[in-house]
Amino acid sequence: MEKVKATFLLHALGDGLGEYPHLREDKKPIPPTDDTVMTLALLEVLVEERKHNPQRVAQKYLSYLREGILKKVGYTTLEALKKFEKTQNWFYSGIACKRCAGNGVAMRISPLGVWAYLRNLPLEEFFETVRAEGYITHRNELAISGAFAVAYAVYLNLKENLPKEETVKRVLLTMEHLGMENPVKEAVENALNLKGLDGKDALRRLGSGGYIVETIGAVFYLFLSQEDFLEGLDLLLEVGGDTDTVGAIFGSLYGSLHGLKNIPENLISRLEVKEKIEQLTEKLFSHFHP
């Protein structure tokens, strides 16, 4: 359970410090951005429904948006939730367009990697669950591919505890098996090939923006090359880009493999969502180990 908890705690930490780097030293509470709010909304539905129910997930996202809990969401996600408010049907809410290849699905997908691990989901069901979650907001194959790469890496970290390079190679093989021969897969390959390069140079080559191809390249490069989570965040912040989302996803990959290794307790204790994460994780595990 500790690595599952760490998956979400470090997601929140990478998100919070990626958006508010000054809070590393300020000793003030570290708030979440939309990345963590949506991640925990998805986790809440998995706990409440004991299954992935995309209609309920969409309702929760919209409710949080209307209540002001979910703020500063990306354009595609905002338009999708407006569409859902009109249609009341998750299957028709996602935005289909070439420019909808953002990281809004990948940033919230880690609960489905955990869920697949706990439920031991068959690969096909795992992939279709990720696709359904993605379709709530993004009807774009690159966005779905990026989300699957993240979720599957979390799943492998928890289930297999393999060396990092082996995990990433397994992600690539599975993407190939599922027919994901696209720029997202190439970004994972590039991250693997650039592992020995200077960190700043590698991130600049890969990009670290909100386009899912850049996000995935940066996340997997940081996961492969960084043994210390906070040093990885420092590198990311030095280069810039979509630092809260890249930091959040990097946190979920690091936490699912290493737990809270090398993470100062005073940072975890200042997370505004710490108690919520602990409660949800305990409820999730109680379903499997009553």
Chain segment 86-120, per-residue pLDDT in tens: 999 999 999 999 889 999 999 999 999 999 999 99
Using 50 as the pLDDT threshold, list the residues of the chain that sit under it: 290
Two tokens, residue 256 = 């699912």
Q: For residue 158, what pLDDT is reported? A: 96
CA atoms within 13 A on the CB side of 151: 32
Domain 2-91+103-281: top CATH class = mainly alpha
Query: Quick one: pLDDT at residue 290?
Result: 45
Bridge partners (DSSP) listed for residue 211: 102
Q: Is 189 exposed, middle or buried (0-12, 13-18, 19+ CB in 10 A)?
A: middle
pTM of the model: 0.96
First to last CA, the chain: 14
Cβ atoms of 57 and 90 within 8 Å: the answer is yes
Q: Is 211 helix (H, G, I), strand (E, B) or coil?
A: strand
Q: Which residue has the tokens 């299954």?
A: 51
Token pair of 60 as six digits: 């929760």
- The pLDDT assigned to 162 comes to 93
pLDDT at 289: 61
* Model pLDDT, residue 196: 79
